[in-house]
Structure 1
Amino acid sequence: MSRAVIYETFGGPEVLELRQIPEPHAGQGEVRVKVTTVSLNPMDWVLAAQREAAAQFGITVPSGFGYDFAGVVDEVGEGATGFAVGDRVFGGALGRAAADFVVVKTPPEGADALWHTPQGISDEVASTIPVAGMTAAAAIGVIDVRAGDTVLVGGAAGGVGVFAMQLAKLAGARVIGTASESTFEFLRKFGAEPVTYGPGLADRVKALTPGGVSAATDLFGTETAEAALALGVPPERISTIAAPNPPGGVRATGGMAADAGAMERITDGILAGKITVPIAATFPIEQVRDAVTVHTGRHVHGKILITL
């Protein structure tokens, strides 16, 4: 037997249960990963709470929980390629990451993903990259951020925002990030210039950047995208990741749209010390409800991890 976080009804953290389940094994063309770390993302608890959102991903109850994970390959099924027992790996397993073991096909299918963990990157850091890192790469890449740009990042203090700020800085851009005043010092650590979100955002950004904003990414809703449009930013240079109805012409994107070289840029940046991933809190899997409760508060600076 092994452990997995399971929920049988949709709801808040209270529906999550750590249960004993039959131990899964790698089948034809599959590898099994002994999970060491799981990184939380908003989509994890949204899928557990909202039946309609879950249905869009083909998730029905009972279901497992979580997506981002890191660990070590401990079984390789017949016909599986590219991975060997003992390989350190990280990736994504939709609706089943928070478990002692995750089984993934090689190559991965659907929303699943699996990469080798570069030497020098810890499991904790590696587990934060699949959703937040790749989503940030897509959000920055689709608007073609480059040297000389002034980029407005909405929701800069979140898990995706931390990566987006640093990727934009690596591209040579000036970065302005929206946040609450209590988060300003946190943003400055990443080289961003903070500005308060909320009504009047466009006016505050204009006062901060008389030369104008050339690109923007909205990582929370549409407020930043609308402010960027008001400031004259062309819609094709504005991206959103979490807006069901983005303003006209604005580019909606997500992690699956990241370019082929995005993961290597992120891991190279981490190894070079040019990208850092703040870990806000770590919980053992027995405290998964507590971890999700903290995460749903949306006031976390950095990533929340679950360890096994």
Structure 2
Amino acid sequence: MRAVFHSSYGGPEVLEVGEQPDPVVGPDSVLVRVKAAGVNPVDFKIGAGYLQGAFPSFLPTIAGWDAAGVVEAVGPAVHDLAPGDEVLGYLRKDFVRDGCYAELVAGNERHWALKPPALSWEVAGALPLAGLTALQSLEAVRAGSGDTVLVHAASGGVGHLAVQIARARGARVIGTASERNHDFVRSLGAEPVLYGDGLVDAVRALAPEGVDAAVDYIGGDAIRQSAELAKDPARTASNVDPQAVAKVGGLYCFVKPDAAQLAQLAALVADGAVRVEVQEAFPLERAADAWKAQMDGHVRGKLVLTV
């Protein structure tokens, strides 16, 4: 099969496009012919070798942790999916090697949910990792109806989904973003504020008593600012720096595969309650350009690869 992989660690320059062995279909796994694969910051961090201490890692590594496509084959113990089904999935495994930037990918049946017909391939490929990260972090801080929730990096891949999911749950949302993205954040249903040194004062101007919960997808000062603004720092979460968020009394969230939650997210998108902003779709052969765009740090919504 054709795939994007790296045989050494580094930046976009280490990515190669070429042939790799087809995935093995285990007893409870599902083989999918990929139509679109999500591009996420964790992808280039894996490429740089940052996760070697967190997961057993093997080279060459095929990049990518989420995808959408058509079921090609299933193992004998799989009963709820069949060849021809259209699916989307978050394919994080217990090791780093066999990712989604490829024509074929295999994952346990727990990784996959059926794709609603209303979702395009690009939207379905962009949703799993970012959507599950947003949903699970909001659940960790118990964001719900009547809450005021602060979302850091509200125009980014995870943040723009978190804004909409929180709004769908009945929360008021304040979202941090650069000034050029404020109209976009407003269109999602949030009240935008400029990130940086004046953030705490800007949020307090909108919510004088502070916020009920805060979720962070950027790290750095945002973690401290969340704790300063939250009525209860235990209702703050970050997916960036486990030590820093623990130090202020908050929670570290590392996204987990969950087929039921993924189906829930897909239904929200299909029903129009949540929209997935895809800034650009790159062909598989231009994965290095997608990484460069992601590393630039100014992506509005998501990037995807099409296969």
Asked if these proteins are the same fold (TM beyond 0.5), I'd say yes
1:207 aligns with 2:210: no
Aligned pair partner of 2:69 in 68, 71, 75: 71
| Structure 2 match to 1:100 | 103
Q: Is the 8 A contact 1:216 1:239 kept in 2?
A: yes
Instruction: In structure 2, give the amino acid aligned to 1:293.
Output: K
Q: C-alpha deviations, 1:88-107, integer Å up to 9, x for none?
A: 1111334410111112234x
**Alpha carbons of 1:149 and 1:105: their partners in 2 closer, same or farther (altered >3 Å)?**
closer
Deviation for aligned residue 1:297: 0.7
Instruction: In structure 1, give the amino acid aligned to 2:20.
Output: I
Q: C-alpha deviations, 1:237-285, integer Å up to 9, x for none?
A: 1111111321331011122187x85334322211221100011001111
Q: Is the 8 A contact 1:30 1:76 kept in 2?
A: yes
Q: Is the 8 A contact 1:138 1:257 kept in 2?
A: no
- C-alpha separation in 2, matches of 1:25 and 1:125: 27
Q: Is the 8 A contact 2:227 2:248 kept in 1?
A: no
Q: C-alpha deviations, 1:168-208, integer Å up to 9, x for none?
A: 10111111111111111111110111111111311111122
Partner SS, residue 154 of structure 2: coil
Specify every segment of 5 or more residues in structure 2 that has no aligned partner in the other structure, as ranges. Answer: 93-97
RMSD: 1.9
Q: Is the 8 A contact 1:39 1:127 kept in 2?
A: yes
| Structure 1 match to 2:248 | 248
Moved more, 8-17 or 225-234: 225-234
Moved more, 32-41 or 90-99: 90-99
| Structure 1 match to 2:95 | none
| Structure 2 match to 1:289 | 288
1:115 aligns with 2:106: no
| Structure 1 match to 2:127 | 129
| Structure 2 match to 1:13 | 12
Instruction: In structure 2, give the amino acid aligned to 1:275.
Output: V
Partner SS, residue 18 of structure 2: strand
Deviation for aligned residue 1:210: 2.5
- C-alpha separation in 2, matches of 1:145 and 1:136: 11
Deviation for aligned residue 1:42: 0.6
**Alpha carbons of 1:4 and 1:185: their partners in 2 closer, same or farther (altered >3 Å)?**
same
Aligned pair partner of 2:235 in 232, 237, 253: 237
| Structure 2 match to 1:263 | 262
TM (norm. structure 1) is 0.91
Instruction: In structure 1, give the amino acid aligned to 2:100.
Output: A
Partner SS, residue 217 of structure 1: strand
- C-alpha separation in 2, matches of 1:27 and 1:137: 29
Partner SS, residue 159 of structure 1: coil
Q: Is the 8 A contact 1:220 1:243 kept in 2?
A: no
Q: Is the 8 A contact 2:4 2:285 kept in 1?
A: no
| Structure 1 match to 2:21 | 22
Deviation for aligned residue 1:60: 2.3
Q: Is the 8 A contact 1:67 1:97 kept in 2?
A: yes
**Alpha carbons of 1:7 and 1:148: their partners in 2 closer, same or farther (altered >3 Å)?**
same
- C-alpha separation in 2, matches of 1:77 and 1:256: 22
Q: C-alpha deviations, 1:12-54, integer Å up to 9, x for none?
A: 001000111233453443331111100111101100112x413
| Structure 2 match to 1:141 | 139
Q: Is the 8 A contact 2:90 2:257 kept in 1?
A: no
Instruction: In structure 2, give the amino acid aligned to 1:34.
Output: R
TM (norm. structure 2) is 0.92
Partner SS, residue 56 of structure 1: coil
- C-alpha separation in 2, matches of 1:132 and 1:296: 16
| Structure 2 match to 1:190 | 188
Aligned residues: 300
Specify every segment of 5 or more residues in structure 1 that has no aligned partner in the other structure, as ranges. Answer: none
- C-alpha separation in 2, matches of 1:284 and 1:197: 33
| Structure 2 match to 1:46 | 45
Deviation for aligned residue 1:227: 1.8
**Alpha carbons of 1:100 and 1:195: their partners in 2 closer, same or farther (altered >3 Å)?**
same
Partner SS, residue 255 of structure 1: coil
4+ aligned runs moved over 4 Å, structure 1: none
Moved more, 242-251 or 221-230: 221-230
- Give the structure, 1 or 2, with the largest relative contact order (CA under 8 Å, sep 6 or more): 2
Partner SS, residue 52 of structure 2: helix
Instruction: In structure 2, give the amino acid aligned to 1:256.
Output: K
Partner SS, residue 44 of structure 2: helix
- C-alpha separation in 1, matches of 2:299 and 2:189: 19
Deviation for aligned residue 1:127: 1.4
**Alpha carbons of 1:55 and 1:228: their partners in 2 closer, same or farther (altered >3 Å)?**
closer
- C-alpha separation in 2, matches of 1:230 and 1:12: 35
